[in-house]
Amino acid sequence: MRADVMTGRHPTDRGARLGMAEAQVQAVYGKSLQVRPHKYDSAGRYLVLVPDGGADSLRLIFETRGRVVTRYRAGVLPAVDYVEGCG
């Protein structure tokens, strides 16, 4: 129900990737991103893409620390929203 990217050089379809600055991800995805505080890390945040139109259950979630993407995941709610993972 979800895929996690924690290592490597796997970009999203729009070119966002690990190590990218939050500002760059926000420039790529624009106003479709919601910014939320990280559940466990006060220096971290979540940048959550809620797709426009009919895909209410899909999400792309970037985790950041120090304003840099450290991991990201994509999938279907509720699985994609689990901070601890699925397994």
> What's the CATH number where 22 sits?
3.30.1450
Cα separations in angstroms, 74 against 47, 56, 57, 79:
12, 13, 11, 9
Q: Is the pLDDT of residue 32 over 70?
A: yes
Q: Are 61 and 80 in contact (CB under 8 A)?
A: yes
Q: Which domain holds residue 27?
A: 2-81
pLDDT on residue 54: 62
In-domain check, residue 70: yes
Place of tokens 């991991």: 71
User: pLDDT, tens digit, for every residue of 34-50?
Assistant: 999 999 999 999 999 98
Question: Does residue 86 lie in a domain region?
Answer: no
In a domain, 17, yes or no: yes
Alpha carbons 24 and 28: distance in angstroms, whole number: 6
pTM: 0.93
Q: How many domains does the chain divide into?
A: 1
Taking phi over 0 as left and psi of -120 to 50 as alpha, with beta for the rest, 37 belongs to beta
Is residue 87 in some structural domain?
no
